[in-house]
Amino acid sequence: MTTLLNKRSLSIGLLVVAIIIPLVTENQYYLHIFSSVFIWTIAVYGLNMIGGFTGQLSLAHAGFFAIGAYGLGVLTVKVGLNFWLSFILAIILTTILGFLIGLIALRTKEHFFAIYTLCVGYIIYLIIYKWEAVTEGVRGLIGIPAPAAIGPITFDSPKSVYYLMLFFLLLSIFLFKRIIDSLVGRTYIAIRNSEELAQTIGIETMKQKLISFVLSTFFAGLAGALYASFIRFIGPDISYISITFDMLMYLLVGGIGTLSGPLVGTLLIIWISQYLQFLQDYRMLIFGPILVLLVIFYPRGISGGVQTWMANRKRKKSKLQIPQNSVVVKEEQ
């Protein structure tokens, strides 16, 4: 009970801090970075859904992110649809394509699945790069509109955009937690731990893996659409495999298979990257060894490591406590 209250108090505290940040600083650079962190965190939650909880490593995640971004961009710039209608359609398009690709991809297992999704991601990149009539190719798609007003609420300032991205992040975390805490989430964990054992107890593993894959593409499409409206210019590079590896690095550092891992890893790595921009050419020389050490000593990342430390500490405390009924009274004969 105390642990639950501590977690709830910490969550409320972090939420309060996130809400008051724009009220205590007028620095647009900080608001821009935080908004970017919120968007990428949503995408990493999608990767955590299929990789962290179902045990399937999808290397096409950046491709689905790009589909969401280009879906919004094309529908607003080329077709001329309303922003929020285009926003919803872009997410639906990403999810449908995720379903169709997942039907084939999930017939493969383990490293074959990773290789297949890697190929799918590269095909998405080539389509975006070559289909100039729709995507503008290497020139990129410019003129993407900012989020349209909702009644009296407008999004024409960095502060209002910050709160919009925070809203979608909180919504994503809420949906993610509800899924993971449900019977469906426990099914995903069972498949991750042993797919064969999950099948023996009656779990339809193919169906559940497909649902997990589709949910991961939903989060990727949502993040991509938000990114397009935030940056307002997109190019083929957002679908490249290096973007998937960046998101995977955020997840591994934060804690794969944990609720807070995507937020912790994304926030930490992006802020460190901003402070080390003068070493951008040597970025992987810095993060590479750190990632290797984390995988060796903290395979569950920062969040997983903290959870393990707290569990060990609680176990040691319980061993040190002397049970009240442990005193044995010897009767005199």
pLDDT digit string, tens, across residues 46-100: 999 999 999 899 999 999 999 999 999 999 999 989 999 999 999 999 999 999 9
User: Residue 168 pLDDT more than 90?
Assistant: yes
Q: For the beta carbon of residue 318, count every other beta carbon within 10 angstroms.
A: 8
Q: How high is the pLDDT of residue 98? A: 95
| H or E element in which residue 233 lies | strand 233-234
- The residues with which 234 forms a beta bridge, in sequence order, are 141
Q: What pLDDT does residue 305 have?
A: 80
In whole angstroms, what separates CA 65 from the centre of its chain?
Answer: 11
For the record, the structure tokens of 217 come out as 């593409």
- Mind giving me the DSSP string for 45-74? HHHIIIIIIS----S-HHHHHHHHHHHHHI
With contact defined as beta carbons under 8 Å apart, do 244 and 61 qualify? yes
How many whole angstroms separate alpha carbon 72 and alpha carbon 78? 10
Give residue-wise pLDDT tens across range 225-234. 999 999 999 9
Structure tokens at 29: 């650079």
pTM above 0.85, yes or no: yes
Containing H/E element for 97? Answer: helix 83-105
Q: Tokens 């409206």 — which residue?
A: 229
% residues pLDDT > 90 (the chain):
53
Within 8 A by CB and 6+ apart from 226, the residues are 39, 42, 165, 168
Structure tokens at 58: 């999808």
The SS3 of residue 298 is coil
Taking only the tens place, the pLDDT of each residue in 137-155 is 888 899 899 999 988 888 9
Name the strand (E) or helix (H) holding 38. Answer: helix 28-47
* 229 class by beta-carbon count within 10 Å (0-12 exposed, 13-18 middle, 19+ buried): buried
Question: What does the pLDDT read at residue 329?
Answer: 44
Q: Which residue has the higher pLDDT, 286 or 33?
A: 33
Q: Which pLDDT score, from 0 to 100, does residue 222 have?
A: 97
Q: Would you place residue 321 in the very low, low, confident or very high pLDDT band (cuts 50, 70, 90)?
A: low
Degrees to nearest 5, angle at CA 50 with 147 and 211:
85
- Is a pLDDT exceeding 50 seen at residue 333? no
